């Protein structure tokens, strides 16, 4: 397992928790994003995730570096799954350990916001009567922007 990775198989949470845990960690936060059955009254059958894998892993690692700069002392792992995902499957997992809890919460939430901004991963929702690539329009990002 790599601390910042894209996988095609089900995400095994414990691996990433074990990776961030150490004797100096007093708090661990784990966020998992799951495939939800209903979104705005429309029933999702399944999702298809696609990634530009090398750049996605690079940007995940970049987010990890940003986090460790902002919250010194934390340790982070982030994994995103691609391929066909069904209801309740884990799409993304963020594990953060920290000596104290505040940083573990803040850094974790920062990670998911940044993932949604810069990591080249795309989600297609497949419903009973159609499908669509999801993605909010964002301003053109600055180079090396944090």
Partner 1 sequence: MDRRTEKVSGEREEMNMITVNYFARLRELTGKTKETIERGSMTVQELLDWAEETYPGFGKDTVHVAVNEEYALKEDVIQSGDNCAFIPPVSGG
Binding track over 52-91 against its own copies, x by CB under 8 A? -----------------------------------xx---
Angle at the Cα of 122 (from 121 to 123), degrees rounded to 5? Answer: 130
Distance CA 57, CA 2 (A): 9
Burial of 47 (0-12, 13-18, 19+ CB in 10 A): buried
19 touching its own copies, by CB under 8 A: no
Residue 138 interaction partner, one of partner 1, its own copies, none, beta carbon < 5-8 Å per kind: partner 1
Residue 18 has which token pair?
Answer: 């074990």
Interface residue with its own copies among 105, 122, 123, 124 (CB under 8 A) is: 105
- 3-class DSSP assignment, residue 135: coil
Residue ranges binding its own copies (CB under 8 A)? 13-14, 17, 21-38, 87-88, 99, 101, 104-105, 108-109, 112
């Amino acid at each position: 397992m790599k601390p910042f990775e894209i996988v095609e198989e089900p995400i095994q949470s414990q691996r990433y928790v074990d990776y961030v845990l150490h004797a100096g960690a007093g708090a661990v936060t784990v966020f998992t994003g799951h495939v939800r059955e209903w979104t705005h009254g429309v029933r999702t059958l399944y999702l298809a995730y696609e990634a530009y894998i090398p750049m996605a892993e690079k940007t995940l690692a970049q987010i990890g570096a940003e986090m460790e700069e902002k919250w010194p002392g934390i340790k982070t792992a982030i994994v995103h799954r691609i391929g066909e995902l069904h209801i309740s499957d884990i799409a993304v997992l963020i594990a953060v350990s920290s000596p104290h809890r505040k940083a573990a919460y803040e850094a974790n939430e920062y990670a998911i916001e940044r993932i949604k901004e810069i990591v080249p991963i795309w989600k297609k929702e497949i419903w009973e009567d159609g499908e669509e690539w999801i993605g909010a329009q964002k301003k053109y990002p600055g180079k090396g922007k944090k």
